Structure 1
Amino acid sequence: MTTSRISYNSARFLISAAKLHQCPQDSGAEVAFAGRSNAGKSSAINALTNNSKLARTSKTPGRTQLINFFELSQPGCKLVDLPGYGYAKVPVAMKQHWQKHLDEYLQKRQCLQGVVLVMDIRHPMKEFDRMMVDWCRESQMPLHILLTKADKLKKGPAQSTQLKLRKELRQELGDLVSVQTFSALKRAGIEQLQARLDGWMLGEPEVETEADPG
Protein backbone atom coordinates (compact mmCIF):
# COMPACT_ATOMS: atom_id res chain seq x y z
CA MET A 1 0.00 0.00 0.00
CA THR A 2 1.42 3.37 -1.04
CA THR A 3 1.31 6.25 1.42
CA SER A 4 1.11 9.74 -0.04
CA ARG A 5 3.69 12.23 1.18
CA ILE A 6 1.15 15.02 0.87
CA SER A 7 -1.93 14.92 3.09
CA TYR A 8 -4.76 15.52 0.64
CA ASN A 9 -7.29 15.04 3.43
CA SER A 10 -6.14 18.38 4.88
CA ALA A 11 -7.01 20.33 1.70
CA ARG A 12 -8.88 23.53 2.43
CA PHE A 13 -10.44 26.20 0.26
CA LEU A 14 -8.10 29.13 -0.34
CA ILE A 15 -9.65 31.53 -2.86
CA SER A 16 -11.75 31.79 -6.03
CA ALA A 17 -10.57 33.86 -8.98
CA ALA A 18 -12.43 35.11 -12.03
CA LYS A 19 -9.28 36.46 -13.66
CA LEU A 20 -5.55 35.71 -13.59
CA HIS A 21 -4.62 38.73 -11.49
CA GLN A 22 -6.99 37.51 -8.74
CA CYS A 23 -5.13 34.20 -8.40
CA PRO A 24 -2.82 33.56 -5.40
CA GLN A 25 0.86 34.42 -5.68
CA ASP A 26 2.48 32.52 -8.56
CA SER A 27 4.86 30.44 -6.44
CA GLY A 28 5.20 26.93 -5.06
CA ALA A 29 3.62 24.10 -7.05
CA GLU A 30 0.07 23.50 -8.17
CA VAL A 31 -1.85 20.96 -10.21
CA ALA A 32 -4.98 21.92 -12.12
CA PHE A 33 -8.04 19.72 -12.59
CA ALA A 34 -9.87 20.32 -15.86
CA GLY A 35 -12.86 18.57 -17.31
CA ARG A 36 -15.94 18.86 -19.35
CA SER A 37 -19.04 19.58 -17.28
CA ASN A 38 -20.65 16.40 -15.98
CA ALA A 39 -17.42 14.38 -16.29
CA GLY A 40 -17.21 13.95 -12.51
CA LYS A 41 -14.43 16.46 -11.77
CA SER A 42 -15.86 17.75 -8.47
CA SER A 43 -16.57 14.20 -7.28
CA ALA A 44 -13.00 13.18 -8.14
CA ILE A 45 -11.53 16.10 -6.17
CA ASN A 46 -13.81 15.33 -3.23
CA ALA A 47 -12.81 11.66 -3.29
CA LEU A 48 -9.11 12.56 -3.52
CA THR A 49 -9.35 14.85 -0.49
CA ASN A 50 -11.89 12.70 1.40
CA ASN A 51 -14.09 15.77 1.74
CA SER A 52 -17.51 15.53 0.12
CA LYS A 53 -18.05 19.28 0.38
CA LEU A 54 -14.69 20.63 -0.82
CA ALA A 55 -15.47 21.02 -4.52
CA ARG A 56 -19.04 21.91 -5.39
CA THR A 57 -21.08 19.22 -7.07
CA SER A 58 -24.22 20.30 -8.84
CA LYS A 59 -27.07 18.80 -10.79
CA THR A 60 -26.67 21.79 -13.10
CA PRO A 61 -23.42 21.12 -15.03
CA GLY A 62 -21.22 24.14 -15.64
CA ARG A 63 -22.35 26.13 -12.62
CA THR A 64 -18.79 26.62 -11.38
CA GLN A 65 -17.46 29.59 -13.34
CA LEU A 66 -14.45 30.51 -11.22
CA ILE A 67 -10.93 29.12 -10.81
CA ASN A 68 -10.95 27.64 -7.30
CA PHE A 69 -7.73 27.13 -5.32
CA PHE A 70 -7.27 24.63 -2.49
CA GLU A 71 -4.31 24.68 -0.12
CA LEU A 72 -2.57 21.44 0.85
CA SER A 73 -0.55 20.39 3.90
CA GLN A 74 2.76 20.67 2.02
CA PRO A 75 3.81 24.36 2.06
CA GLY A 76 3.25 26.03 -1.31
CA CYS A 77 1.32 23.10 -2.80
CA LYS A 78 -2.18 23.68 -4.19
CA LEU A 79 -4.93 21.95 -6.13
CA VAL A 80 -6.80 24.06 -8.68
CA ASP A 81 -10.34 23.39 -9.87
CA LEU A 82 -10.77 24.93 -13.32
CA PRO A 83 -14.20 25.89 -14.71
CA GLY A 84 -15.97 23.05 -16.45
CA TYR A 85 -17.89 23.73 -19.61
CA GLY A 86 -18.79 22.29 -22.97
CA TYR A 87 -22.11 20.94 -21.78
CA ALA A 88 -23.38 23.89 -19.77
CA LYS A 89 -26.46 25.67 -21.04
CA VAL A 90 -25.07 29.18 -20.67
CA PRO A 91 -24.79 32.15 -23.05
CA VAL A 92 -22.04 32.02 -25.69
CA ALA A 93 -20.52 35.22 -24.29
CA MET A 94 -20.08 33.55 -20.90
CA LYS A 95 -18.41 30.51 -22.48
CA GLN A 96 -16.04 32.84 -24.33
CA HIS A 97 -15.25 34.58 -21.03
CA TRP A 98 -14.40 31.24 -19.41
CA GLN A 99 -12.30 30.25 -22.43
CA LYS A 100 -10.28 33.47 -22.34
CA HIS A 101 -9.40 33.27 -18.66
CA LEU A 102 -8.79 29.53 -18.74
CA ASP A 103 -6.37 30.11 -21.63
CA GLU A 104 -4.64 32.91 -19.74
CA TYR A 105 -4.24 30.78 -16.63
CA LEU A 106 -2.82 27.79 -18.53
CA GLN A 107 -0.38 29.89 -20.54
CA LYS A 108 0.91 32.25 -17.87
CA ARG A 109 0.78 30.38 -14.57
CA GLN A 110 4.44 29.55 -13.87
CA CYS A 111 3.88 27.31 -10.83
CA LEU A 112 1.55 24.94 -12.74
CA GLN A 113 3.23 21.51 -12.69
CA GLY A 114 0.66 19.41 -14.50
CA VAL A 115 -2.95 19.05 -15.59
CA VAL A 116 -5.37 16.31 -14.56
CA LEU A 117 -7.94 15.99 -17.33
CA VAL A 118 -11.12 14.34 -16.10
CA MET A 119 -13.19 12.36 -18.61
CA ASP A 120 -16.23 10.14 -18.21
CA ILE A 121 -14.85 6.74 -19.20
CA ARG A 122 -18.01 6.12 -21.27
CA HIS A 123 -17.54 9.33 -23.29
CA PRO A 124 -13.79 10.10 -23.62
CA MET A 125 -12.12 12.66 -25.90
CA LYS A 126 -14.90 15.13 -26.56
CA GLU A 127 -14.17 18.56 -28.07
CA PHE A 128 -13.04 20.15 -24.79
CA ASP A 129 -10.80 17.16 -24.03
CA ARG A 130 -9.13 17.45 -27.43
CA MET A 131 -8.51 21.15 -26.83
CA MET A 132 -6.80 20.41 -23.52
CA VAL A 133 -4.69 17.59 -24.99
CA ASP A 134 -3.57 19.88 -27.81
CA TRP A 135 -2.68 22.63 -25.37
CA CYS A 136 -0.62 20.25 -23.21
CA ARG A 137 1.21 18.93 -26.28
CA GLU A 138 2.04 22.42 -27.54
CA SER A 139 3.19 23.69 -24.16
CA GLN A 140 4.88 20.40 -23.12
CA MET A 141 2.78 20.31 -19.96
CA PRO A 142 2.53 16.94 -18.15
CA LEU A 143 -0.98 15.51 -18.49
CA HIS A 144 -2.74 12.85 -16.44
CA ILE A 145 -6.02 11.49 -17.79
CA LEU A 146 -8.51 10.46 -15.13
CA LEU A 147 -11.17 8.17 -16.60
CA THR A 148 -13.94 8.62 -14.06
CA LYS A 149 -17.11 6.62 -13.39
CA ALA A 150 -15.22 3.39 -14.07
CA ASP A 151 -17.77 1.61 -11.88
CA LYS A 152 -20.29 2.13 -14.70
CA LEU A 153 -18.38 -0.37 -16.86
CA LYS A 154 -17.24 -3.93 -16.27
CA LYS A 155 -13.52 -4.38 -15.61
CA GLY A 156 -12.69 -5.65 -19.12
CA PRO A 157 -14.25 -2.79 -21.11
CA ALA A 158 -12.89 -0.23 -18.62
CA GLN A 159 -9.35 -1.53 -18.98
CA SER A 160 -9.73 -1.74 -22.75
CA THR A 161 -10.78 1.93 -22.93
CA GLN A 162 -7.83 2.91 -20.74
CA LEU A 163 -5.26 1.02 -22.80
CA LYS A 164 -6.66 2.23 -26.13
CA LEU A 165 -6.61 5.88 -25.03
CA ARG A 166 -3.14 5.56 -23.54
CA LYS A 167 -1.79 4.09 -26.78
CA GLU A 168 -3.35 6.88 -28.87
CA LEU A 169 -2.17 9.72 -26.63
CA ARG A 170 1.33 8.32 -26.15
CA GLN A 171 1.79 8.67 -29.91
CA GLU A 172 1.10 12.40 -29.54
CA LEU A 173 2.59 13.28 -26.16
CA GLY A 174 5.04 10.48 -25.38
CA ASP A 175 5.97 10.24 -21.70
CA LEU A 176 4.16 13.51 -20.93
CA VAL A 177 0.86 11.66 -20.65
CA SER A 178 -0.45 8.99 -18.29
CA VAL A 179 -3.91 7.43 -18.09
CA GLN A 180 -5.77 5.75 -15.25
CA THR A 181 -9.27 4.58 -14.39
CA PHE A 182 -11.04 6.07 -11.39
CA SER A 183 -14.24 5.63 -9.42
CA ALA A 184 -15.23 8.21 -6.82
CA LEU A 185 -18.17 6.00 -5.84
CA LYS A 186 -15.99 2.96 -5.09
CA ARG A 187 -12.96 5.06 -4.10
CA ALA A 188 -10.87 3.17 -6.68
CA GLY A 189 -7.74 4.75 -8.15
CA ILE A 190 -7.18 7.34 -5.41
CA GLU A 191 -3.71 6.08 -4.42
CA GLN A 192 -2.52 6.11 -8.03
CA LEU A 193 -3.78 9.67 -8.46
CA GLN A 194 -2.09 10.77 -5.22
CA ALA A 195 1.20 9.25 -6.36
CA ARG A 196 1.02 11.18 -9.64
CA LEU A 197 0.29 14.45 -7.84
CA ASP A 198 3.07 13.82 -5.31
CA GLY A 199 5.49 13.25 -8.17
CA TRP A 200 4.56 16.51 -9.88
CA MET A 201 4.47 18.74 -6.82
CA LEU A 202 7.41 17.24 -4.95
CA GLY A 203 9.55 16.79 -8.06
CA GLU A 204 9.65 13.00 -7.99
CA PRO A 205 8.14 11.65 -11.23
CA GLU A 206 6.16 8.43 -10.82
CA VAL A 207 6.33 5.46 -13.17
CA GLU A 208 2.89 4.74 -14.56
CA THR A 209 1.38 1.50 -13.32
CA GLU A 210 -1.74 -0.43 -14.17
CA ALA A 211 -4.78 0.38 -12.06
CA ASP A 212 -7.75 -1.75 -11.14
CA PRO A 213 -10.79 -0.06 -12.67
CA GLY A 214 -12.80 -1.16 -9.66
Structure 2
Amino acid sequence: MTQFNYQKAHFIISAPDIRHLPPDSGIEIAFAGRSNAGKSSALNALTQQNGLARTSKTPGRTQLINLFQIEEGLRLVDLPGYGYAQVPEEMKRKWQRSLGEYLQKRECLKGVVILMDIRHPLKDLDMQMIDWAVGSELPTLVLLTKADKLASGARKKQLMSVREELANKVGDIRVEYFSSLKKIGIDKLRNTLNEWFSGSEEQPINDDNA
Protein backbone atom coordinates (compact mmCIF):
# COMPACT_ATOMS: atom_id res chain seq x y z
CA MET A 1 0.00 0.00 0.00
CA THR A 2 1.39 3.38 -1.04
CA GLN A 3 2.01 5.98 1.68
CA PHE A 4 0.95 9.47 0.60
CA ASN A 5 2.23 12.75 1.98
CA TYR A 6 -0.86 14.69 3.06
CA GLN A 7 1.25 17.67 4.09
CA LYS A 8 1.62 18.35 0.35
CA ALA A 9 -2.12 19.01 0.08
CA HIS A 10 -2.99 22.33 -1.52
CA PHE A 11 -6.25 24.05 -2.44
CA ILE A 12 -7.22 23.94 -6.09
CA ILE A 13 -10.84 25.07 -6.47
CA SER A 14 -14.18 25.88 -4.82
CA ALA A 15 -17.24 24.95 -6.85
CA PRO A 16 -20.99 25.45 -6.30
CA ASP A 17 -21.82 22.14 -8.05
CA ILE A 18 -20.26 19.30 -10.05
CA ARG A 19 -20.48 21.23 -13.34
CA HIS A 20 -17.75 23.55 -12.05
CA LEU A 21 -15.38 20.78 -10.88
CA PRO A 22 -12.23 19.61 -12.70
CA PRO A 23 -12.54 16.68 -15.16
CA ASP A 24 -14.06 13.54 -13.61
CA SER A 25 -10.83 11.52 -13.51
CA GLY A 26 -8.27 10.34 -10.97
CA ILE A 27 -9.39 9.56 -7.41
CA GLU A 28 -11.38 11.75 -5.03
CA ILE A 29 -12.16 11.05 -1.39
CA ALA A 30 -14.88 13.21 0.12
CA PHE A 31 -15.30 14.49 3.67
CA ALA A 32 -18.92 15.04 4.68
CA GLY A 33 -20.64 15.87 7.94
CA ARG A 34 -22.97 18.14 9.83
CA SER A 35 -21.92 21.78 9.89
CA ASN A 36 -20.56 21.49 13.45
CA ALA A 37 -18.90 18.06 13.10
CA GLY A 38 -15.34 19.36 12.74
CA LYS A 39 -14.62 18.63 9.06
CA SER A 40 -12.27 21.54 8.53
CA SER A 41 -10.39 20.79 11.74
CA ALA A 42 -9.96 17.15 10.71
CA LEU A 43 -8.60 18.11 7.28
CA ASN A 44 -6.21 20.59 8.88
CA ALA A 45 -5.02 17.97 11.39
CA LEU A 46 -4.55 15.33 8.66
CA THR A 47 -2.47 17.67 6.49
CA GLN A 48 -0.73 19.43 9.40
CA GLN A 49 -1.79 22.73 7.87
CA ASN A 50 -3.79 24.95 10.20
CA GLY A 51 -5.13 27.08 7.40
CA LEU A 52 -5.81 24.52 4.66
CA ALA A 53 -9.55 24.21 5.31
CA ARG A 54 -11.18 27.25 6.83
CA THR A 55 -12.67 26.74 10.27
CA SER A 56 -15.43 28.99 11.46
CA LYS A 57 -17.06 29.70 14.78
CA THR A 58 -20.30 29.89 12.83
CA PRO A 59 -21.08 26.38 11.53
CA GLY A 60 -22.40 26.18 8.00
CA ARG A 61 -20.09 28.69 6.35
CA THR A 62 -18.69 26.06 3.96
CA GLN A 63 -21.22 26.44 1.15
CA LEU A 64 -19.08 25.20 -1.71
CA ILE A 65 -17.40 21.95 -2.75
CA ASN A 66 -13.72 22.55 -1.93
CA LEU A 67 -10.99 20.47 -3.58
CA PHE A 68 -7.44 19.90 -2.30
CA GLN A 69 -4.82 18.08 -4.35
CA ILE A 70 -2.42 15.59 -2.73
CA GLU A 71 -0.68 14.52 -5.92
CA GLU A 72 -1.56 14.71 -9.59
CA GLY A 73 -4.99 13.05 -9.92
CA LEU A 74 -5.48 12.51 -6.17
CA ARG A 75 -7.83 14.90 -4.38
CA LEU A 76 -9.50 15.40 -1.00
CA VAL A 77 -12.95 16.96 -1.19
CA ASP A 78 -14.54 19.06 1.55
CA LEU A 79 -18.29 18.89 0.94
CA PRO A 80 -20.74 21.52 2.22
CA GLY A 81 -21.79 20.90 5.81
CA TYR A 82 -25.37 19.76 6.31
CA GLY A 83 -27.87 20.40 9.11
CA TYR A 84 -27.63 22.89 11.97
CA ALA A 85 -26.55 25.87 9.87
CA GLN A 86 -28.46 29.07 10.48
CA VAL A 87 -29.10 29.80 6.82
CA PRO A 88 -32.25 30.20 4.69
CA GLU A 89 -34.13 26.99 3.90
CA GLU A 90 -33.67 27.55 0.17
CA MET A 91 -29.89 27.56 0.61
CA LYS A 92 -30.04 24.33 2.66
CA ARG A 93 -31.99 22.65 -0.15
CA LYS A 94 -29.41 23.86 -2.67
CA TRP A 95 -26.60 22.34 -0.57
CA GLN A 96 -28.51 19.05 -0.33
CA ARG A 97 -28.89 18.94 -4.11
CA SER A 98 -25.17 19.63 -4.59
CA LEU A 99 -24.27 16.90 -2.09
CA GLY A 100 -26.58 14.32 -3.62
CA GLU A 101 -25.48 15.12 -7.15
CA TYR A 102 -21.80 14.89 -6.25
CA LEU A 103 -22.18 11.58 -4.39
CA GLN A 104 -24.29 9.93 -7.08
CA LYS A 105 -22.70 11.23 -10.28
CA ARG A 106 -18.99 11.83 -9.62
CA GLU A 107 -17.32 8.73 -11.06
CA CYS A 108 -13.87 9.43 -9.60
CA LEU A 109 -15.27 9.44 -6.04
CA LYS A 110 -13.78 6.34 -4.40
CA GLY A 111 -14.54 6.76 -0.69
CA VAL A 112 -16.44 8.91 1.80
CA VAL A 113 -15.36 10.02 5.28
CA ILE A 114 -18.45 10.95 7.30
CA LEU A 115 -17.71 12.96 10.41
CA MET A 116 -20.04 13.28 13.40
CA ASP A 117 -19.67 14.51 16.97
CA ILE A 118 -19.03 11.44 19.15
CA ARG A 119 -21.50 12.84 21.70
CA HIS A 120 -24.33 13.15 19.14
CA PRO A 121 -23.80 10.51 16.43
CA LEU A 122 -26.14 9.04 13.81
CA LYS A 123 -28.62 11.88 13.42
CA ASP A 124 -31.13 11.61 10.56
CA LEU A 125 -28.94 13.43 8.04
CA ASP A 126 -25.91 11.33 9.06
CA MET A 127 -27.88 8.16 8.38
CA GLN A 128 -29.05 9.58 5.05
CA MET A 129 -25.43 10.28 4.10
CA ILE A 130 -24.39 6.75 5.10
CA ASP A 131 -27.26 5.28 3.06
CA TRP A 132 -26.23 7.40 0.06
CA ALA A 133 -22.67 6.12 0.31
CA VAL A 134 -23.72 2.49 0.76
CA GLY A 135 -26.21 2.80 -2.09
CA SER A 136 -23.41 4.07 -4.31
CA GLU A 137 -21.20 1.15 -3.19
CA LEU A 138 -18.60 3.54 -1.78
CA PRO A 139 -16.36 2.45 1.09
CA THR A 140 -17.19 4.61 4.10
CA LEU A 141 -15.25 5.69 7.16
CA VAL A 142 -17.38 7.10 9.98
CA LEU A 143 -15.19 9.35 12.13
CA LEU A 144 -16.54 10.12 15.61
CA THR A 145 -14.98 13.52 16.16
CA LYS A 146 -14.27 15.51 19.34
CA ALA A 147 -13.33 12.23 21.08
CA ASP A 148 -11.29 14.22 23.61
CA LYS A 149 -14.61 15.44 25.06
CA LEU A 150 -15.24 11.95 26.51
CA ALA A 151 -13.26 9.89 28.99
CA SER A 152 -11.54 6.81 27.56
CA GLY A 153 -14.18 4.36 28.76
CA ALA A 154 -17.11 6.41 27.49
CA ARG A 155 -15.30 6.94 24.18
CA LYS A 156 -14.87 3.18 23.63
CA LYS A 157 -18.47 2.49 24.67
CA GLN A 158 -19.77 5.02 22.14
CA LEU A 159 -17.53 3.56 19.43
CA MET A 160 -18.91 0.06 20.02
CA SER A 161 -22.46 1.39 20.13
CA VAL A 162 -22.14 3.11 16.74
CA ARG A 163 -20.44 0.06 15.19
CA GLU A 164 -23.29 -2.11 16.45
CA GLU A 165 -25.89 0.33 15.10
CA LEU A 166 -24.33 0.22 11.63
CA ALA A 167 -23.59 -3.51 11.58
CA ASN A 168 -26.75 -4.24 9.59
CA LYS A 169 -25.71 -1.97 6.71
CA VAL A 170 -24.47 -3.96 3.72
CA GLY A 171 -21.19 -2.41 2.61
CA ASP A 172 -17.67 -1.44 3.61
CA ILE A 173 -18.31 0.76 6.66
CA ARG A 174 -15.64 1.39 9.27
CA VAL A 175 -16.09 3.38 12.46
CA GLU A 176 -13.27 5.05 14.41
CA TYR A 177 -13.03 7.85 16.94
CA PHE A 178 -11.04 10.99 16.25
CA SER A 179 -9.82 14.19 17.87
CA SER A 180 -8.17 17.01 15.94
CA LEU A 181 -7.18 18.66 19.21
CA LYS A 182 -5.46 15.62 20.77
CA LYS A 183 -4.39 14.08 17.44
CA ILE A 184 -6.34 10.89 18.23
CA GLY A 185 -7.14 8.62 15.28
CA ILE A 186 -5.10 10.48 12.66
CA ASP A 187 -3.05 7.37 11.83
CA LYS A 188 -6.20 5.31 11.23
CA LEU A 189 -7.62 8.05 9.01
CA ARG A 190 -4.35 8.30 7.08
CA ASN A 191 -4.11 4.52 6.62
CA THR A 192 -7.68 4.33 5.30
CA LEU A 193 -7.03 7.15 2.83
CA ASN A 194 -3.80 5.46 1.71
CA GLU A 195 -5.79 2.29 1.03
CA TRP A 196 -8.44 4.08 -1.02
CA PHE A 197 -5.95 6.22 -2.93
CA SER A 198 -3.91 3.08 -3.69
CA GLY A 199 -6.94 1.65 -5.48
CA SER A 200 -7.79 -1.06 -2.95
CA GLU A 201 -11.46 -0.15 -3.23
CA GLU A 202 -11.49 -2.82 -5.93
CA GLN A 203 -10.92 -5.53 -3.33
CA PRO A 204 -13.93 -7.58 -2.15
CA ILE A 205 -16.19 -5.70 0.23
CA ASN A 206 -15.61 -6.53 3.85
CA ASP A 207 -18.43 -5.58 6.20
CA ASP A 208 -16.65 -6.71 9.36
CA ASN A 209 -16.71 -3.57 11.50
CA ALA A 210 -14.79 -5.04 14.40
Q: How does 1:152-191 map to 2 (within 5 A)?
A: 152-174=149-171, 176-191=172-187
Maintained 8 Å contact 1:18/1:67: yes
CA distance in structure 2 between the partners assigned to 1:4 and 1:152 by the alignment: 33
Q: Does residue 1:103 correspond to 2:100, yes or no?
A: yes
Question: Paired residue for 1:194?
Answer: 190
CA distance in structure 2 between the partners assigned to 1:115 and 1:11 by the alignment: 18
User: SS at 2:14's partner residue?
Assistant: strand
User: SS at 1:159's partner residue?
Assistant: helix
Maintained 8 Å contact 1:4/1:195: no
Question: Paired residue for 2:146?
Answer: 149
The runs of 5 or more residues in structure 2 that have no matched partner are none
The runs of 5 or more residues in structure 1 that have no matched partner are none
Question: Paired residue for 2:27?
Answer: 29
User: Number of residues paired by the alignment?
Assistant: 206
Per-residue deviation, 1:117: 0.2
User: SS at 2:113's partner residue?
Assistant: strand
CA-atom RMSD in angstroms: 1.8
Matched residue type, 1:100:
R
CA distance in structure 1 between the partners assigned to 2:116 and 2:17 by the alignment: 25
Question: Paired residue for 1:204?
Answer: 200
1:23-66 residue CA offsets vs partner (Å, 9 max, x unmatched): 11111101000000111111001000000101110011001100
CA distance in structure 2 between the partners assigned to 1:130 and 1:32 by the alignment: 16
Maintained 8 Å contact 1:4/1:194: no
1:58-101 residue CA offsets vs partner (Å, 9 max, x unmatched): 0110011000000003x211000000020001111001111111
Q: Does residue 1:131 correspond to 2:90, yes or no?
A: no
Q: 1:18 aligns with which of 16, 19, 28?
A: 16
Q: How does 1:62-73 map to 2 (within 5 A)?
A: 62-73=60-71
Moved more, 131-140 or 199-208: 199-208
Per-residue deviation, 1:4: 6.9
User: SS at 1:13's partner residue?
Assistant: strand
Q: TM-score, normalised by structure 2?
A: 0.93
Which 4+ runs in 1 deviate beyond 4 A? Answer: 205-210
Question: Paired residue for 1:116?
Answer: 113
